[in-house]
Chains A and B, each alone.
Chain A
């Protein structure tokens, strides 16, 4: 009978022997089959007695006795799975996790648009996103130094388990995580990951770093929003209308800049140029290099090189505009350290203004200082005159006269003490202007009629086309002269152009004379007869 029972009790195991299943097949006389026999039989199959679930076995037996013809099956023992250790990992803060996701998506979309795989995104209507400017929605993850972006977790050991036969199931230890980073990221002893520099955060797999350059693969448009970045910016395509690109370093745009605003504290390089449609603006902290500028306003603190054309622009260059292949057509171009171009104006007579050797802010400062001198002189003369009057009134002074004398002496001292600092400031400002400017216009091909040249205290209206190469500069007495650069012959500019003394810019020679006490301030205001 025992052999018969053996045959009718079938034991099987689940994966990793974490469960033991017993099947009671029909053919056993339920009267001869009790719990202890069944428990013994289960144990004899190699199952750890401590792990046998006795209530489950009892239930199984009862089920079988209730319906012996059908047979029953059930789990009678359970082991415990090993809990494996977790691998070490980088856990980003929720804020950066989300920001980096946004950045990845924006880069993908920006690239897809650039490659023509997706349509350019449009500005959402205010009704959809009230109060949200989509120009300001930058998807780039820009970080400052000292920001905690996440934490590196060490791997864990795990916990061993056992199967139904009592055999140990060893837990696997987690793998260590090796953070790949450079000097831009600091991994602290407590696992925190902190940025060391300003820039764009990049994260891919185990690599985390801060990029000093923001490389935009497509256009600056609604897929990127305005770009404000502390490091260098490279735009592989162009910049669309009304967008702002702002950097504390250099900006390089490979394709066209439309009516946008580029602001950089360093150099700006526009491989193609700007078609500003009278709205485009460039604020350049160092040098500007572009193929052409059209309908743009530009302030350039350094030098400027434009290869082809500057058309209908308002350009102010603090350094030199050295562009021997460039034509200036229409608009107004000013360069403190002189201009060298191919041509100015057109044969059709486009009114084109060039201003050389000016720093307007410093000249206005010098003018204000010079205006203080006669005012102080007037105070001094008036007080000294009254002092003389009182002195001649006799030795004995009334109490009132004594007080007035004190006031007058104070007035004289006060005016005298203010005068010298004003004169010094004026002279220093004039020196600064002298050092920082070069009043010179060099034209290689043509200086067209209707071009207007502002130089020194003069405005020169070109009446007939002048062939280059030529140079307009000032002679030793401050009058404009024209030099033929082929023959080096020189003539006063007023012989071939309408030259007038103008008050738009102060006459620096007159200011110099005022500072030296040689001339009154009226001189620089008087237009020449």
Chain B
């Protein structure tokens, strides 16, 4: 499965990559902000996106909105420190499928990825 990690923190991307690797997903592309991600999605054709909210150049919410205009089916998990209910609702409205609030444990991230993929497969 092709997965794209969008986060301005390299450490955070490495943590997520390690969790994905333990789940058996090794095909991973990285982007450092929304703009970088938009330039890569066309060629990479990801099947799952893990997106941070607060990033320079283009934040995660703007990226989700833009991406959803062209692709409605690829699952997106928002991984962010934004924990307020209103923010979560904004993200869901923009087209996010699941939400992980930082700080998270590797187990929690792993659980969210698995449940998101299972839901999307069931819906398809």
A408 to B54, CA, bound (A): 20
For the complex formed, measure the closest distance between the CB of B28 and the CB atoms of chain A, giving whole angstroms.
16
User: Which chain A positions have C-beta within 8 A of B18?
Assistant: 410, 414
| B121 beta carbon closer than 8 Å to chain A | no
B107–A399 CB distance below 8 A: no
CA of A374 to CA of B32 in the docked complex: distance in angstroms?
A: 36
CB contact between B12 and one of A397, A406, A408, A409 (< 8 Å): that residue: A406
A389-403 interface with B by 8 A CB criterion: 397, 399, 401-403
- Closest CB-CB distance, A469 to chain B, in whole Å? 60
Query: Do residues A409 and B105 form an inter-chain contact, with CB atoms below 8 A?
Result: yes
A413 and B105 contact, Cβ closer than 8 Å, known pairs A402-B81, A403-B9, A407-B11 = yes
**Most chain B CB within a 10 A radius of its CB, from A404, A409, A414:** A409
A403→B106 contact, CB < 8 A: no
Contacting A403 at CB < 8 Å: which of B102, B105, B107? B102
| Beta-carbon contact of A410 and B102 below 8 Å | no
Across the two chains, which residue of chain B brings its CB closest to A390?
A: B103
**B54 and A407 contact, CB distance less than 8 A:** no
Do A410 and B15 touch (CB < 8 A)?
Answer: yes
Least Cβ–Cβ distance between A404 and chain B, in angstroms? 8
Contact status A409-B104, CB under 8 Å: yes
Task: Tell me which residues across on chain B come within 8 A of A404, comparing CB atoms.
Answer: 103
CB distance from A397 to the nearest CB of B (A): 7
Identify which of A401, A402, A413 contacts B106 (C-beta below 8 A).
A413
Select which of A397, A413, A414 is within 8 A of B103 by beta carbon.
A397
Instruction: Enumerate chain A residues within 8 angstroms of B81, measured Cβ to Cβ.
Output: 397, 399, 402-403
Q: How many residues of B contact A (CB 8 A)?
A: 14
* A82 in contact (CB, < 8 A): no
Residue of chain B at shortest CB distance from A409: B105
How many residues in A have their beta carbons less than 8 Å from beta carbons of B?
Answer: 14
Whether A409 contacts B103 in the complex (CB less than 8 A), given A402-B81, A403-B12, comes out as yes
CB distance from A383 to the nearest CB of B (A): 13
Asked if A405 CB lies within 8 Å of chain B CBs, one says yes
| Nearest chain B CB to A70 CB, angstrom units | 110
Chain A residue nearest to B105 in the complex (CB): A409
* Interface of A, helix, strand, loop or mixed by DSSP: helix
Proximity string of chain B (78-109) to chain A, C-beta cutoff 8 Å, 1 when within and 0 when not: 00010000000000000000000111111100
Closest partner residue, chain B, to A406 (CB atom): B103
CA distance A406 to B14 in the complex (A): 12
Give the docked Cα–Cα distance between A334 and B70 (Å): 73
Q: Which residue of B lies closest to A399 (CB)?
A: B81
Of all chain A residues, which has the CB nearest B107? A413
Kindly state the separation between the CA atoms of A402 and B105 in the bound complex, as whole angstroms.
11
Question: Contacts of B11 on A, CB cut-off 8 Å?
Answer: 403, 407
Please, which residue of chain A has its CB at the minimum distance from the CB of B7? Answer: A403
B52 → chain A closest CB, angstroms: 9
A405 with B102: CB separation less than 8 A: yes
Interface centre among A397, A402, A403 (most CB of B within 10 A): A403
B15 touches A402 (CB 8 A): no
Which residues of B sit under 8 angstroms from A403, Cβ to Cβ?
9, 11-12, 81, 102-103
Point out the residues of chain B lying under 8 angstroms from A409, CB to CB: 103-106
Closest to A411 in B: B15
Q: Closest approach, in angstroms, between the C-beta of B115 and any C-beta of chain A? A: 19
Does B107 contact A406, Cβ atoms closer than 8 Å?
no
Q: How far is the CA of A413 from the CA of B107 in the complex (A)?
A: 9
A413 and B110 CA atoms in complex are apart in Å by 13
Nearest residue, chain B, Cβ from A413: B106
User: From residue 406 to 429 of chain A, which have CB atoms closer than 8 A to chain B?
Assistant: 406-410, 413-414
Contacts of A410 in B (CB 8 A): 15, 18, 105-106
Assuming the contacts A399-B81, A414-B18, asked whether A406 and B104 have C-beta atoms less than 8 A apart, the reply is yes
Bound state CA distance, A180 and B104, in angstroms?
A: 80
**A404 to B15 Cα, complex, angstroms:** 12
Max chain A CB contacts within 10 Å: which of B15, B103, B106, B107?
A: B103
| Chain A, 248-296, CB within 8 A of any chain B CB | none
In the assembled complex, how far is the CB of residue B88 from the closest CB belonging to chain A, in whole angstroms?
Answer: 15
Given A407-B11, A407-B15, A414-B18, A402-B102 contact (CB < 8 Å): yes
Residue of A nearest to B54 (CB): A399
A407 to B81, CA, bound (A): 13
CB distance from B56 to the nearest CB of A (A): 14
Nearest Cβ on chain A to B11's Cβ, whole angstroms = 6
Contact with B along A18-56 (1 / 0, CB 8 A): 000000000000000000000000000000000000000
Instruction: Please give, as numbers and ranges, the residues of chain B lying within 8 Å of A397 by CB-CB distance.
Output: 81, 103
A402 with B103: CB separation less than 8 A: yes
Query: Nearest-CB distance from B13 to chain A (Å)?
Result: 12
Q: Could you list some 20 contacts between A and B, CB below 8 A?
A: A397-B81, A399-B54, A402-B101, A402-B102, A403-B9, A403-B11, A403-B81, A403-B102, A403-B103, A405-B103, A406-B12, A406-B15, A406-B102, A406-B103, A408-B103, A409-B104, A409-B106, A410-B105, A410-B106, A413-B107
A-B pairs with lowest CB-CB distance, top 7? A405-B103, A402-B102, A399-B81, A402-B81, A406-B103, A410-B15, A409-B105
- Beyond A403-B81, A403-B103, A413-B106, 4 extra complex contacts between A and B, CB < 8 Å: A399-B81, A407-B11, A413-B105, A414-B106
